[in-house]
Structure 1
């Protein structure tokens, strides 16, 4: 409750000597705000450990009534509990929004303080000079989306706010690029002493991986707060050129922004998939590490029994290419890895078949209420098409995780026969595989052509 009130109050009120302290989370790391935070932390500890001690004879939270107000009755305790629950949600939301947007508790609501440069008086004065800051004209507006700010975080004239958002974007992008590379590299590479640390998210909670994570966290904080300090005279993310390479040009900055954006999506996807599947960044793709069951020791043991699994002899080797695996993802004897790849191929094929049909159908058919939704990729970002896409995404996840679960005793993609049609035979499985492969190529082609031409699946054919 104090945190939520403070997050709002500090936007408007500052004690003498604290005028230069920001009103958001940065207050905790900006002197003298950091000293104030340390003092509050110590005082809170003293109060809890030495003053407001819990008496087991009283209800939890009752530390007496020193002023004799007699207000800590059952009604007041109920209000305190409910207000505290609401405040925990509010405080967590304010902190999360601050981390993602760089705005304090009031700025998140679109409200400005008198002392900010984004006030109407300041904006009018700037407008009178004819040089109002335009976020849409800054670097980062990249085709095909252009300037993408659907929530309206960036405001015309608010150069300071835009710089904060851009700095946060660059930092998150850099971390995500390292995280995405690390999620792949740690599957194959382990430093001495870390051989027993898993290659997925569990590495963060498994010693000595947890110690390494803590060390990286502290080093990152030192680098950000003491070494790579942002200079307001330079563009966000420019911390000088100590090696004299002269590479942080406008072209390099644009590449960094876009690579960082892609890495944030990639890292988020890897983490989400790890949480739901328990597989690391490479296992999610059906690839196996040396230390897995695909090791030579396991393969030799299987070969000794005369029953080495042969991927080339499994269903899917179709003329004219036959068994097509030029990169060598599948290994002899690795039946588990092959099943993972085959399951992924079937899932991707099914999605691609629906996507390819949808890319054609939505050119001619629109459901009631969706008449204003475009028929190309923009449908995903245009309401109510975006809501429909989110609903399909959630339903697909529920279907995969809770309904259509894979049984290791059945072939990949076989989720039973609830209607008793008996159609999932060997011939049907072969057709599904080949149709799915063709659909993946078709869907990828439609998407690529849409990005380059701006035309939907039928317009690309001249229809």
Structure 2
């Protein structure tokens, strides 16, 4: 048991090394407030337990060899973070990457200790990864692993299962080799061994540049191996093999139902609502039985809709005593009011017969849908399974179909009814109004016309026309001076104000003289009072008699007014955009980089802001400008990213192995 524990500890040490240093985005400048906050967050939540545990393990190994363990200085030497940007393991295109802030204290001693730990974890992980891969590809050594115990190499399974087969002497050799690596070299700070150079010429070289390249490659491979071995541990532990099919993960509560009736390709077992998450076979059987019955009723109901539409109805009388012919019963929901009481009695009696004529208790054929009707079942078990599976699939389709028919029938008057017949909709009154245009048609997402009031509609349409016209004038007021320039001469000779003195956009408000505002207001008043705009008049529909915007021909006039409405809507959107851009950047065509008052600007130089998008926060998480909240979310994002990277590598390595086998 103790040997198993030691082996598990070693495997865990290899896995935990992934937290030491990874390598992906060059550091960027942070705001002082955020830097302080991030430092506090790191100090509070730094995942330092793994390095501490590994340091204890290292100390134990060193003690076995009579060697003092490496202990960091009580007064670490503090430097800026930029001191680590040229260290071994900093690689393009990411550069130095420390999202967890391990180096935030600037201590070179702590950095060296963690890098040393990372190297060892990487080496152990590479050995462990090769230990998984090699036997799968090349096979195992011939002969005996332990002649005294009669244990052959072929008897040792690959992966985690090998832990129980390795004899005590084998674990002793492993630990002795680890101890040898620890004590055979001086690994104190500043020595070549502290940087990973143990003098093995395979991993190093006499040429400094070649040595640096080899050690950097080893670090990168070690990081990959730490990711790989964790993926292998998970897959091996859950499926029984590092290359195991996930179909072997039988401990999942969902697996009990994967071979049940109704599980069909290409989807397989699908339970998005999680009904089977409790793994209860009783609950599954009860729901499957209910599904079968609902499917059968839905198939009957669907056929009840379809058949009379295609084949017509039976001749003669449905109820001679009541003088009710089959032809008198309408199709669909309307038939409910025509079926006599005796008819409903027959329907209910047949349903009761289906329920009581069979033993449907758990485990019986009827509980699985087999009522002995040879049309739906068969003597051959495979044929029966195929028929019942087909019935389940058809029942599911029928449940969808009948619900659609109920809605369409209820709203249009027929299961095959044209939705144009849904006249009860309050929106229908306005579908032929001016401004209803393809491809959208009548569109009122805010529900302004839900009350169906034509008076309110006309008033809002009149308002929309006026807003659109003002917006078109305002939009042109922005655009024209930018393109054509301004009028020559004076806007106000008495005030000595030239047209050229009036800036474009919102800034012009402060330059227009009082007489100018008077003219604008007077023109607006003239437009209001010069026409009768009461309900039903041409002016109420936007026709002020200006032949540029209207016409004598009714169709041409309708086309022009419809075009004006569309242009006015576009102009309302445009002018609002111009107002915002002008107000925030100083110009309707201004660069958004000039919007320096944004609370988001504080985060534009933070880690993760990259070209060509720059700082992007469509959900507005940083709208409050809080550096504390930003730091907390960034910390969460980093952790989610790491978990996702591990998960992704687990997928990739498995797929690569499967593809190589297939080739």
What's the TM-score, normalizing by structure 1? 0.34
Q: Which has the larger radius of gyration?
A: 2
